[in-house]
Amino acid sequence: MPRPLLRHNPLFLLLGLLPACLTWHEQQLPVQQVLAEEHPEVVRVTRQDQSHVVLAHPQLAADTLVGQLHGTPTAIPLSDVTSIALHKDSLPRTLGLFALFLSAGIVGIAAAACCGN
C-alpha cells in the first residue's frame, strides 16, 4: 500500500507553511510614492487614532486613499493616514521555521532509528 506523500517528504509541509512567514513592513516614504513604486495589492493603513485598516487594491483619488475593506469600497483621507505598511517576506521568521522543521526532522529520524519503527 502506498504511503502518504507527506510521510515520505516533509518538505511539502514546510513549503506549504512558508506563506506564514509574511509580516507587515511599515514604509518610511509618503503614501503616494509607495503606491507608485510598489503597486501593492494590499496595504495596512495606520490612522491618526492609531487604528489599523487593511485595504485591498489601494489607489489614490486626489487627496484620498481608496480601496476595498472586506469587499466594500472604502475611502480614507490622506490627512488621516499616519503610515502604511506592506505585507512582505520575513527572512528571520522563514529561517526560524526552517530550523524548527529541520530539528523536528532530525529528532524524528533519530527516534525511528532508535526504536526501529
Cell 532509528 maps to which residue?
113
- CA-to-CA separations, 23 to 19, 78, 85, in angstroms, rounded: 10, 23, 9
Average pLDDT over residues 2-24: 58
Asked if 64 contacts 76 with a C-beta cutoff of 8 angstroms, the reply is yes
pTM (two decimals): 0.61
pLDDT for residue 38: 92
Flag whether pLDDT at 99 surpasses 80. Answer: no
b/e burial code for range 49-63 (CB count within 10 A of at least 16 → b) = eeeebbbeebeeeee
Say how far apart CA 7 and CA 60 lie, in whole Å: 49
Strands 22-26 and 81-89: antiparallel
**Which one, of 2, 3, 58, lies nearest residue 35 by Cα?**
58
- CA-to-CA separations, 103 to 45, 91, 110, in angstroms, rounded: 37, 18, 11
Flag whether pLDDT at 102 surpasses 80. Answer: no
pLDDT for residue 2: 52
pLDDT for residue 22: 72
pLDDT in tens, 37-87: 999 999 999 999 999 999 999 999 999 999 999 999 999 999 999 999 998
Grid coordinates of 33: 510614492
